[in-house]
Amino acid sequence: MTSRFDPEFYSLYRPLYPPETFAGLESDLLKRGFSPPYQIADIGCGTGHSTVSLLKTGIEARVIGVDPDQKMLDVAGIESQLGSGEKTGLESQSIEAIIVGSAFHWMNPEKTKTEFLRILKPRGVVRIFEYQFPKAPALPELNEWIRCEFNLRWKAPDQKPRGSLKELTRVFRDDTRFEWIGEGQPEMKIKLNSEQLTGLILSQSRVLHYEDTLSAEERESFRKSLRIEIQKHLHDRSEIFDFKLSWVNFSRN
């Protein structure tokens, strides 16, 4: 399944990453002989959430976003260019660190690894991170309803399970040209109200693929029923949702 995103919903309702997502990244760069301002590529940057989150930590860096969707880049508000994980368009050995936020599962692992080897300077660092669709610990019935919808009604016919981040990044672990240098699971718990949760659901590629199968009238009915169902659980309050964030770090040998 190819990606399908609505830049407006993505920009408005996808959360930024907590600072802990990048814990140790700068120290890893310093240990490997790099100094600020660092040259960093945000691959699969979308609307720029990873870049903005990284720069909010105060790191001194030039970050270049790369994404295959021009509409996403148009609202990103960051330095960026068209490209993909497999073909970034960046110069060889020009990058000191690569970050990939919730996008590696869209990329061909082997081709992307080869491209990362090309653009990274020797001893350059790769930080790959992602979160899961969040669950509200206090609302198990809502969690189960969303799980069933994602796995049944909203699942594209050719969609395959993503697998864990460890499984996704095995291509780096099994290559002697890369060294595993760390991983983490920082807390990412955010309060969401019904509007924010609805927007988050409508920012999901699989939901938009599902909507593409509907007529305009059916699509309007679907969005109305979605809001009603979520409102039934959340009412007019906000609840804590756990995003189950994780990251993994590699260095090019």
Q: What is the pLDDT of residue 5?
A: 74
Q: What is the pLDDT of residue 158?
A: 60
Domain count, the chain: 1
CATH of the domain at 86: 3.40.50.150
Please report whether residue 2 resides in a domain. Answer: no
Distance between CA atoms of residues 169 and 162, nearest Å? 11
Q: Which helix (H) or strand (E) holds 246?
A: strand 246-252
Q: What is the pLDDT of residue 156?
A: 62
Please report whether residue 68 resides in a domain. Answer: yes
Please report whether residue 237 resides in a domain. Answer: yes
Please report whether residue 1 resides in a domain. Answer: no
Distance between CA atoms of residues 204 and 218, nearest Å? 18
Q: Specify burial of residue 250 (Cβ count, 10 A radius: 0-12, 13-18, 19+).
A: buried
For residue 42, list its beta bridge partners: 65, 99
Distance between CA atoms of residues 62 and 59, nearest Å? 9
Regions of the chain where pLDDT drops below 50: 1-2
Identify residue 57 by its one-letter amino acid code.
Answer: T
pLDDT tens for residues 47-105? 999 999 999 999 999 999 999 999 999 999 999 999 999 999 999 999 999 999 999 99
Q: What are the residue ranges of helices labelled H in the chain?
A: 7-13, 25-31, 49-55, 70-74, 109-119, 140-148, 165-168, 170-173, 194-202, 205-211, 216-234
Domain hosting 47: range is: 7-252
- Measured at the CA of 17, the angle between CA 23 and CA 241, to 5 degrees, comes to 120
Please report whether residue 108 resides in a domain. Answer: yes
Q: 96 is written with which tokens?
A: 């000191």
Total-model pTM = 0.94
Burial track 125-154 (b if 16+ CB lie within 10 A, e otherwise):
bbbbbbbeebbbeebeebbeebeebbeeeb
pLDDT tens for residues 9-19? 899 999 999 99
Distance between CA atoms of residues 218 and 8, nearest Å? 21
Please report whether residue 107 resides in a domain. Answer: yes
Cis peptide before 7 (omega within 30 of 0): no
Q: What is the pLDDT of residue 154?
A: 84
Please report whether residue 102 resides in a domain. Answer: yes
The answer to whether the beta carbons of residues 201 and 142 sit under 8 Å apart is no
Please report whether residue 225 resides in a domain. Answer: yes
